[in-house]
Amino acid sequence: MRLLLCLTLLLLILGSCVQHQSERPQTNTQSVCDSTNYSYSADVAPIFALHCNSCHTAPNGADGFNTDNYADVSADIKALLEAMKEKGGRALMPPNSKLPDSVIHIIECWNYKGAQNN
Ligand code: HEC
């Protein structure tokens, strides 16, 4: 009887571990982005237009960054993402108002898939 109880408990504990594993949110960019395809013109450019272009329009964007065209965005994507995430010692952009993670995620996945002019 005692053995049965122990075995049942063990199974319950193991079971909850397995379930926990599969429910864990995916934080890895690779696995999260594999199922999504974002386009520069339809998804990425509108985000920069709405949140960045007012200060970062070529040829004289603030601090030398232009977010209103593909060539500049793709060349500077690392710095742009760092600023959006306040990483790499960069000032947070837009200034003082971090974009929602879900919005930043669109740009990260577009970049992960090769930052194409699509
Ligand atoms: C209200 C104007 C304004 C908006 C909107 C804005 N920026 Fe900026 N940005 C600036 C100014 C001014 C600087 C230079 C001064 C500073 O670093 O704060 C700057 C600097 C930067 C830098 C360099 C930061 C560093 O520390 O190296 C990057 C990269 C950048 N912006 C990207 C962006 C992106 C991406 C967005 C939109 C998500 C954005 N900015 C929105 C005004 C703006």
- pTM recorded for the entire structure: 0.82
62 within ligand 1 shell (Cβ under 6 A): yes
Residue among 79, 61, 74, 75 at smallest CA distance from 118: 74
For residues 108 and 29, is the Cβ–Cβ distance under 8 A?
Answer: yes
79 within ligand 1 shell (Cβ under 6 A): yes
Q: Which residue CA neighbors atom 18 of ligand 1 most closely?
A: 91
Question: How does residue 13 score in pLDDT terms, banded at 50, 70 and 90?
Answer: very low
Q: Which residue CA neighbors atom 3 of ligand 1 most closely?
A: 55
Q: Which residue CA neighbors atom 2 of ligand 1 most closely?
A: 55
Structure tokens belonging to residue 60 = 């004289």
What distance in Å separates the CA atoms of residue 6 and residue 74, rounded to the nearest whole number? 58
Question: How does residue 46 score in pLDDT terms, banded at 50, 70 and 90?
Answer: very high
Question: What does the pLDDT average to over 17-42?
Answer: 70
Structure tokens belonging to residue 29 = 């960019």
